[in-house]
Chains A and B, each alone.
Chain A
């Protein structure tokens, strides 16, 4: 392979030069001291992420730095990120704004939004504050979304990595397992599990995670199958590296971009799943979530539609912003799509 491809020429040159002056450059003398080679200086989780032992200088020139710049240049992605951060802030500050239990009856029932400035989003049929419900509900919805995505991600990455890396019989068995889970109607399975076990937040998050890991597993498996053919993996094997070291330290960091992208979509899906469960009355009865707010408002859809519209909008905004973040990450991290944004 002779690198005479014309399209390679401009990018490599251009990417190196124009951004250098903007970043405070670590002087060569500082990076010359060997000290940052020592792994204890970086926490364990940092090693999994792209770009370890990163100096400012390196971060500016490395793909991760370039991806970040591309991401920040994408208005949709920035909007999504800002909205998402606002929702997280809202969830975190809920006990501060509304210290009481959002399930407490605090006012006259069925106040419309704006009718009483103190209950600016109105009250429901039992006189509970909708604004308090939205803010506290964000906590439950986000918590379940993140926890379920984490569970799905953990199982999916592990199964996908093993299937893709080891191949052969291991792969066959694990792919059959994935197919088994995919063939099961996941929502029905969730309803069954939640009905049998107590519908606590933990159970719901676990159930959503267990039914959604197959997407990640397929993705990770495909990435691993492609990456394990690369010469650097062969080199690692010829150096006598153990399988777990090759999986987690050599291949996984290279497979991260698509996994990161999927994560945002998984959080969004988990929020929707939880809402659907709560709407059916199968959510945690002791906690308010956006889904349960819709569920309790559905009887009064004709008379007090705001009771379903407000939490519904919250879900739409949250899911939309997560999807915008996901699209932005996809464009920034996937080099094949990069030309669009450049």
Chain B
């Protein structure tokens, strides 16, 4: 039987940039193929190339056979008849993929009437059926809603309804759940799999998330730098990976079942390098701590300014008591943080998990006094800081810092790295240019950036390197407490492993305490000593890093854990095999 889609020697060029290099793969009818890789590996370019949706500046070569017809050379009218009809696509961002000025019903009806000869009434009836199919509750009423009435998960369901409206034979899903919460992600993937079976369509799932792949894909193709490195059944890829990069990706990935913890094992780091002469890529894997250059004793980061002995024994570094943050919104008062109390000990890492909108970021900002607390106490190292004003806050500011989620937004694009770091020291009265320079150089080296980074500007760095700059900025003042607000959520798996390893090293070296905020349970399981679960502005459960995952008591915690994609291969239990 010939495959539904066969891609032969696909190449995509953007000017001088060769985004996809000689890609071959095929999908059979009713099959799920996952295209896995990190950002910039060419997986999204591939998806757009299949639909011929690339920008005009891109050059496309190769053969894309869909049911025997070559999509690369197909004339536009024939192509338009296929798009949205026989092949359709869903995108990552449900918030922007729907037209905000049309009701969702109008948007589904438009797709239906474009490809099928339906009367308006029949199309509307079919749209209601489709909304029911994608499990939007009360479709008869919701059909006239506008996109802003719907949540992110519901919008993605509407996108899926539009995509499957004409019963496509192939559905391309480009990171369909990356922007969604973990419980919603599970529902959407379940829905896609059900639709695949019911409509017997093939699914090309493009993702960076190996957990998702392990649970839902039949076959996997791993991409790096525009090339396909390896392809095989999901079982082969997970249990018998042949390529070093695949092994590295698997080793760098975290899953809830694997139960790794930072005290026991470092994460695998992938070191990709290209031989400049031959252009051949090689991948080195390692768990070893990369030793920074040795500095003599005079150059060592002076931690003597803050003697650890000052801290009275038994007293936590941070104690929150009944902390509340309220703000006014269009629907009345919102309690973003609602009576939160917990401690963080010296040198402890506390993980804070919860879904978007649960108030975890607001809590982080409130602790740092970036958002005003409405009630409650924040006791930092024995001192109440919740009511301090103006210059009284400066000592606290020096000792409590934040690492942000988005490494692109958190660095001022107009300042060089040296200026960013040196300003912080100058504001806190570190006198003497040479002293400031010494500290800046030391910290830049410590977070694993070259000294040449100092005079460059944020946009010249990759996402992972920018996150290192953000960490350097937080550490340059030698704080005691770091609030990490989703510090690895915007990063690729391999970069995530490097940053997590770095955070672990720095914690041991400088005796830091972390409040690690994340929506990713597996990351928190790895990095945290103790875990708090937040829902609706309240801490609903807290527990030891092992106990919480194995014996969750609160129903919300249980639903969170159940929603995490369980890789059938990591635990050795085959759900679908």
* B546 CB, nearest partner CB in chain A, Å: 30
Within 8 A of A (CB), among B427-475: 427-428, 433, 437, 440-441, 451-452, 454-457, 459-460, 463, 470, 473
Closest A residue by C-beta to B368 = A238
B15–A10 contact, CB under 8 A? yes
Known: A36-B455, A37-B437, A55-B455. Is A231-B410 also a contact (CB below 8 A)? yes
> Inside 8 A of A36's CB, which chain B residues have their CB?
455
Judge whether A225 is part of the interface by a CB distance below 8 angstroms: no
Instruction: Tell me whether B370 is interfacial, beta carbon within 8 Å.
Output: yes
Residues on the B chain within 8 Å of A6, using CB = 44-45, 48, 54-55
A235 touches B402 (CB 8 A): yes
Q: Which residue of A lies closest to B407 (CB)?
A: A231
C-alpha gap A58/B458 in the complex (Å): 11
Label chain A's interface by main secondary structure. helix
Residue from A2, A231, A240 with most neighbouring chain B CB atoms (10 Å): A2
The reply on A28 being an interface residue by CB < 8 A is: yes
Cross-chain contact of A34 among B14, B401, B454, B456 (Cβ < 8 A): B454
Interface of B is mostly: mixed
Interface contact A17-B16, CB-CB below 8 Å: yes
- Are A239 and B397 CB-contacts (below 8 A) given A9-B19, A58-B455, A234-B370? yes
Residue of B nearest to A47 (CB): B419
Given contacts A2-B490, A31-B455, A235-B402, contact A7 B55 (CB under 8 A): yes
Assuming the contacts A2-B178, A2-B490, A13-B17, asked whether A235 and B410 have C-beta atoms less than 8 A apart, the reply is yes
Q: Interface readout for A232-255 with B: 1 if CB under 8 Å, 0 if not? A: 101111111110010001100110
Q: How large is the interface on A (under 10, 10 to 19, 20 to 34, 35 or more residues)?
A: 35 or more
Residues of B within 8 A of A17 (CB): 16
Q: What 1/0 flags go to A183-196 for Cβ under 8 Å of B?
A: 00000000000000
From B14, B368, B428, B440, name the one whose CB has the most chain A CB atoms within 10 angstroms: B14
Cross-chain contact of A9 among B40, B175, B178, B427 (Cβ < 8 A):
B40
With beta carbons under 8 angstroms apart, the residue of B179, B422, B473 that contacts A235 is B473
Residues of B within 8 A of A230 (CB): 409-410
Give the distance to chain A from B92, nearest Cβ to Cβ, in Å: 7
Chain B proximity of A6: nearest CB distance (Å): 5
A253 with B414: CB separation less than 8 A: yes
Residue of A nearest to B405 (CB): A231
- In chain A between 1 and 49, which residues have their CB closer than 8 angstroms to a CB of chain B? 1-7, 9-10, 13-14, 16-18, 28, 31-32, 34, 36-38
Bound-state CA distance A240–B397 (Å) is: 6
Q: How close is A274's CB to chain B, nearest CB, in angstroms?
A: 35
Chain B residues, CB < 8 A from A38: 433
Q: Smallest CB–CB gap between A63 and chain B, Å?
A: 7
The residues of A that contact B412 with a CB separation of less than 8 Å are 232, 236, 250, 253-254
**A298 within 8 Å of B by Cβ?**
no
Alpha-carbon distance between A36 and B416 when the two chains are bound, in angstroms? 11
Say whether B196 faces chain A, with CB atoms less than 8 Å apart: no
Partner pick for A239 among B14, B424, B463, CB 8 A cutoff: B424
The residue from B14, B45, B92, B370 contacting A238, defined by CB atoms under 8 A apart: B370
Query: How far is it, in angstroms, between the C-alpha of A4 and the C-alpha of B44 when the chains are bound?
Result: 6
- Closest chain-B Cβ to A139's Cβ sits at a distance in Å of 35
If A237-B370, A239-B401, A240-B393 touch, does A10 touch B457 (CB 8 Å cutoff)? no
Q: Mark B363-400, 1 if CB is under 8 A from A, else 0.
A: 00100101000000000000000000000011001101
Say whether B411 faces chain A, with CB atoms less than 8 Å apart. yes
Verify if B310 is at the interface (C-beta below 8 Å from A): no
Say whether A53 faces chain B, with CB atoms less than 8 Å apart: yes
Q: B458: nearest residue on chain A (CB-CB)?
A: A232
CB-based nearest A residue for B476: A239
Contacts of A18 in B (CB 8 A): 16
**A/B interface sample: 21 pairs, CB < 8 A:** A2-B175, A2-B208, A16-B460, A17-B16, A34-B454, A37-B418, A37-B440, A52-B414, A53-B416, A53-B418, A53-B455, A58-B455, A58-B456, A62-B459, A234-B410, A236-B412, A238-B370, A239-B401, A239-B428, A245-B427, A254-B414
New A-B pairs, 12, CB < 8 Å, besides A9-B14, A37-B422: A4-B175, A9-B40, A10-B15, A13-B15, A13-B16, A18-B16, A28-B452, A34-B454, A238-B397, A239-B473, A240-B428, A254-B414
Q: Which 7 A-B pairs have the closest CB atoms?
A: A10-B14, A240-B397, A231-B410, A253-B414, A13-B17, A232-B412, A231-B404
Chain A interface residues toward B at CB < 8 A: 1-7, 9-10, 13-14, 16-18, 28, 31-32, 34, 36-38, 50-53, 55, 58, 61-63, 230-232, 234-242, 245, 249-250, 253-254
